[in-house]
Chain A
């Protein structure tokens, strides 16, 4: 149980375009989803917390207009990187949590974004 998927697993896009990443909880309803960013050989940095049906809460220094987060249902959250630039290239990982998972976050497999 507690399986989280992400799509796509990797994406290459041109500078200036927008990219959408999906995060789904497959076998439980996620009341909260989190989005992280991981640079090579570094730890995970929390970008934002997303609660179903409400606006995401962004961490300090994260541009909310650049990283649009939508959590429209209890099983789906999306992260849209708008007007992507090469410095946005990174590994993006989502996680999901609910009372059913005893407040434990379960992570998706990640999405590798490369902006050319």
Chain B
């Protein structure tokens, strides 16, 4: 079964500082990987995704993520955080085949607080 771990429950950064949110996954084959962002009381917005190819993926709002197979990681980065980036971030792994095809398994989420 697939699983996702986001080790950091809560991260606080200053506006303008760089950001890295960690994500580790467990999956038997090459996974589909996603990062979503959720503002309070809202649904999830897709930031970026990895299916195959270039392991460095660019997303919206200046975010990027790098797939590292050897480390089973898909960390999210942003060089300079804005106050509007404060939200909760979810990493998810999707099954590329088998009986769980298309299903997403989410990590526990990381709450990002941005100080002015």
Contacts and interface: CB of A to CB of B under 8 A. Distances in A.
Interface of A: 4, 6, 32, 34, 42-44, 46, 49, 91, 93, 95, 97, 102-110, 112
Interface residues of B, number: 21
B102 interface: yes
A44 B44 CA distance: 10
B4 to A, nearest CB: 9
Contact of A49 (B43, B46, B103): B103
Chain B binding surface SS class: strand
Given A43-B109, A44-B90, A105 B43 contact: no
Chain A binding surface SS class: strand
B45 interface: yes
A107 B102 contact: no
Interface of B: 32, 34, 36, 41-46, 49, 51, 90, 94, 102-109
Nearest to B104: A105
B102 A32 contact: yes
